[in-house]
Amino acid sequence: MLDSALPENPLWRPARRCPPRLAERYGLDPAATPANQAWALLYEREPELYDRLVEGENLHPRIFAELPIEAVTVLDVGAGSGRLTLPCAARAAEVLALEPAAGLRRELAAKLQRCGIANVRIIAGSDQAIPLPAGSVDVTVSCAAFGADPELGGEQGLAELRRVTRPGGQIFILWPDDPQWFLNRGFSYHAFAGAMETRFRDLQTAKLCAEIFYGEAALEWIRQSGRPILPYSVLGVNAPRDLCRCTVA
């Protein structure tokens, strides 16, 4: 069932913090490193590690069910290694995957080739100046990549999303960092109920991701359970169960 009430603490999202072990991995001081900088280094230097992380961080299945993408053109903003791109490609006519990080574009291209997916076009660029004509896509989606911070989109990015989406088309921001920012700009907010957990491909990957991205509580959970499965509540991260949506005028 849809629940449009905002959560108590909508701001505790992974992209908003710099995981200390991630900064240290690249020789940076965690206390002095902006989150965006540490994540950007991961995207360029170890895109396959990023892919293993998000492979385990499943989105709520109702999120996909909500997307009206059958046989239309979809733009995936900040596509990353394709967590959203691939499921969209299975239903859409074409997916345009906009991604600024060259490392992640390579990772996505390799994955598309491995999976034999031919209806995705990878586009280098950012949401600050999307290299597409006005009204050229039916649905724009973005997962964990777009927010109020100008580095993650901001007002200019949102204007770009509205420009490239055709009138009557829709914009979906999945797992938004700051839902209130979108509510203030004509979006509605929806969250889907149910227990959610991360499921990594194997124990080694779960331990590695816990060590680098989540911390001691997650590691301890894995030690005790002996399984590569962790509830989001253990991670201290809002589960990816929510979205903001709007129809373009």
Ligand X SMILES: C[S@@+](CC[C@H](N)C(=O)[O-])C[C@H]1O[C@@H](n2cnc3c(N)ncnc32)[C@H](O)[C@@H]1O
Of 133 and 226, which CB lies nearer to ligand X in the complex structure? 133
164 contacts 140 by C-beta, under 8 angstroms = yes
Which residue blocks in 61-178 are alpha helix, DSSP H?
A: 61-66, 85-89, 102-115, 154-164
10: buried, middle or exposed (CB in 10 Å: 19+, 13-18, 0-12)? middle
**Piece of the chain touching ligand X by CB under 6 A; list 5-13, 145-153, 161-169, 224-232:** 145-153
Taking the complex as a whole, the smallest distance from the CB of residue 79 to ligand X amounts, in Å, to: 6
Q: Which is nearer to ligand X, 122 or 210 (CB)?
A: 122
Report 77-136 residues binding ligand X (CB under 6 A).
77-80, 83-84, 98-101, 104, 126-128
Rounded CA separation 84/216 (Å): 29
Chain positions 10 to 69 lying near ligand X, rule: CB under 6 A, are 15, 43, 54
Strands 197-199 and 94-99: unpaired
Q: What torsion, rounded to 10 degrees, do the Cα atoms 232, 233, 234, 235 define?
A: 50
Interface segment toward ligand X; rule CB under 6 A; list 16-24, 71-79, 213-221, 226-234: 71-79
Find the shortest distance in angstroms from Cβ 96 to ligand X. 12
Return d(Cα 129, Cα 127) in angstroms, integer: 5
209 scored as a contact of ligand X (CB under 6 A): no
Q: Which residues contact 110 (CB under 8 A, 6 or more apart)?
A: none
Total of residues contacting ligand X (CB under 6 A): 22
Q: How far is the CB of 150 from ligand X (least distance, A)?
A: 8
Paired with 170 in beta bridges are 139, 247
Give the residue nearest to ligand X (CB). Answer: 80
Q: Interface with ligand X by CB under 6 A: which range of 107-115, 143-151, 193-201, 205-213?
A: 143-151
Nearer CB in complex with ligand X: 84/237:
84
Binding site for ligand X (CB under 6 A): 15, 43, 54, 77-80, 83-84, 98-101, 104, 126-128, 143-145, 152-153
